Amino acid sequence: MDLNSLNLGTSGEVAAIVAVVGLITQALKKWTSLDSKYLPWLSAILGVIGGLAVFGYFGDTNYLNGALLGLLAGGATSGLFDGLQPAVKAVATTLQASKDAKTVQAQTAQEQGVSQAVTSYLQEHPEALLAAAAKVTSQGGESTDDGSQTQEATQTTQSQAN
C-alpha cells in the first residue's frame, strides 16, 4: 500500500513533502547538536508543516489531508535514515549469534566424537589405561604396585568386557 492509495494527495505533493522534510532533517542532523533520537519526531512535525504548506501552494483546500500526508511523509523520511539502523544492527547481531552458536555446536560435536573414540579404544584395550595409570603413579614416586595389582586389574577388566 502506498500513500496514493489513501487518497490523501497527489504524487507531486508527496514528493515535495519528502524532499523538503528530508533535506531539512538531514541539515539539522549534520549542523546541530540535536540528539538523533528526537529527529523522527522533529521530522514528523516538519512533515505536518510541509504538508500544509504544499497543499496551500498547490491550491488544495483539504488541510486535514495535507497535515496527515505530511505526518506520514515526515515520519517515513526520518525512518529511512534513523529508524532502519537499529533494525539492521539487530539483524546483524542475530546473524552473528547464530554463527557463534553453530561454531560452538560444531566444537561440541567434535569433542564428543573424540571422547567416544577414546572411550571405545579404552574399552577395547584396557591394558593401555592400566599401563598409563601405573606410569603416572610410578612417576609420582608413590608406586607400591609390584605388578600383581596391574595384572589383576587387567584380568578383571577383560572378564567384565567378555
Q: Which position has the higher pLDDT, 144 or 107?
A: 107
CB atoms within 10 A of CB 72: 21
- Side chain identity at residue 62, one-letter code: N
Of 44, 114, 35, the residue nearest 75 (C-alpha): 44
Predicted local confidence at residue 140, as pLDDT: 65
* Each residue's pLDDT tens digit, 53-103: 888 887 878 888 888 888 888 888 776 555 667 767 878 888 888 888 888
pLDDT at 36 over 80: no
